[in-house]
Every structure is written in C-alpha cells, then in structure tokens.
Amino acid sequence: MTRRHLFTIFLALLGVLTPGLLPISWIHSGPSHAEAFSGCETDCLKCHRMTKKEALEILRKMDPKVEILDVKMAPAKGLWEVDFKLKGKKGITYIDFSKQYIIAGEIIRIATRQSLTRKRFIELTKVDFSSIPLEGSLILGSKDAKKKVIVFDDPDCPYCAKLHEQLKDVVEKRKDIAFYIKLFPLKIHKDAYRKAKAIQCSDSIEMLEQAFQKKPIPDPDCKTDVIEENIRLAERLGITGTPTIIFPDGRVISGALRAGDIINYIDRVINKKKNIK
C-alpha cells in the first residue's frame, strides 16, 4: 500500500471527506503545512487572480470531463473556492494561490465548529422546486396541505424505510405538511425496479410500506412510464442516491432526517419567505 493510499484512508477515518463533494482520486497527499501555500496578509485580490479558464486547466489534469461553474475567494485566506460539475453532479474543491495544490475536504470554522464547505455545498446544489412536476407522486399526508416536500425513495432502500417512519410522524403532527414521494429504484437493488413499477401501478403508500417491511410485492399490473420519468428527473437534478429530500426552498438533503428537524426546517423556510415579503 502506497503512502498516498494510507493518507486517503487516514482522511476518510477522520471524516474529512464528504461524499458527493469530490472524487477521492482528487485528494493531494503533499505537504499540509501553511508554508506550502501562497497566502496573503492584506487585500488578496490586489495581487492574486484566478480565472475559470485557469481553474479548468488545473482540474482537467485530474479529470478531462470536469466543468467549472464558478471561481471565487475561499472563506480561508490563501485559497480559491472552485465550484465544478462532474458526471452530472456539482461539487466544491479548493486551489491554493500558488496554483500548485488542490485541497479536498471541508473548511471548518474552529470557533463555531461549522463546516463552511458543507453550508456552501447546500446552496450550490439547490434546485428550482417549482420546476419539479408533482404528478405521478405518491402522497403521504393531505393533498390540500400547503407545505409540500418532495422525497425520492427506493422500495429496497433501508434508510428510506427509516425516513418514512419519520415522515409519518411529521404528517401526524402537522396536517399542513405533505410529502410527494417519487419512486427512484437504484441499480444496486436488483428487484427495486419491478417493485417500484408495481407500487406505482397501485398508487399505494401502503404497498410502499409493505416493501419497506420486506413483504412480498406482486408484479406490476399496468403499463406506466412514471418510473422512467423519475429516473430521468433524478439525473437532471443530480440525484444519485436515496432517500433524497427536496425542501420548498430547493434545498436538497440526502439521507434520513428526524421528524423534528424536518418540521423545524420547513417552518424556517416559510417564515423566511414571509419576512422577505
């Protein structure tokens, strides 16, 4: 095992790497000391510049298919923050002022323990909620609920099953919130596509819950293109895993959340919109 591999494993164990932010192959195993980078003491923009073309030339040495979305000063001095797109997914990486190093991972403010990279990543990956069709979704909650949340689920996904229990708790407590579930079978689950088709044909939350409970699911009894449409939609939105939640403000969160956290975030979004008005 090379020193590079050991360094990558070490970072992963520390939790430095954030899935979806950057391919592991982009991790640099060179010096991590402050002296290794070209920092600045005053106004950095007076003596340092990086164009999107320069960033593209650097990152394409790692992967020729990468696209550059934006380049700006990073929250930490001495670094450029580069927003990129690769294989349909958006991500963030950093390039030092000397333009010799790519820094993968997160910038964390010590005083608050807040990941500035994660916060920026959430903003970067937001989608236009209004552009997502709600037709063909399974609805958990009231159709008349004013606050709508979209969830991409796979019937064979164990974390989707855990999240579903939290969603049921939300609609039990809050009649003004409804979840629009889009079935998105992943290729790693061999029988998920068939089950998704059957559940879509039945238009049944109950059958989805049976799938989550590992109960037998009958074969589909209709012809429907909804599952294929969901797969194409997920690809367009850059969604590759389940469960994935899309909140009313377009924020995209992967993984299972607690009912209380879901409610709190929805309320913050709605209140923020009211204050803006």
Residues whose CB is less than 8 angstroms from the CB of residue 143 and which lie 6 or more positions away in sequence, other chains included: 178
CA distance 27 to 95: 12
**pLDDT tens for the 277 residues of the chain, in order:** 444 444 443 334 333 333 333 443 443 333 333 334 444 554 566 668 899 999 999 999 999 999 999 999 999 989 999 999 998 888 999 999 999 999 999 999 999 999 999 989 988 989 999 999 999 999 999 999 999 999 999 999 999 999 999 999 999 999 999 999 999 999 999 999 999 999 999 999 999 999 999 999 999 999 999 999 999 999 999 899 999 999 999 999 999 999 999 999 999 887 776 555 5
Tell me the two tokens of residue 109.
Answer: 């403010």
What domains are there in the chain, each with its CATH number?
3-124 (3.10.450.70), 129-276 (3.40.30.10)
pTM: 0.73
State which H helix or E strand residue 95 sits in. strand 89-96
CA distance 207 to 205: 5
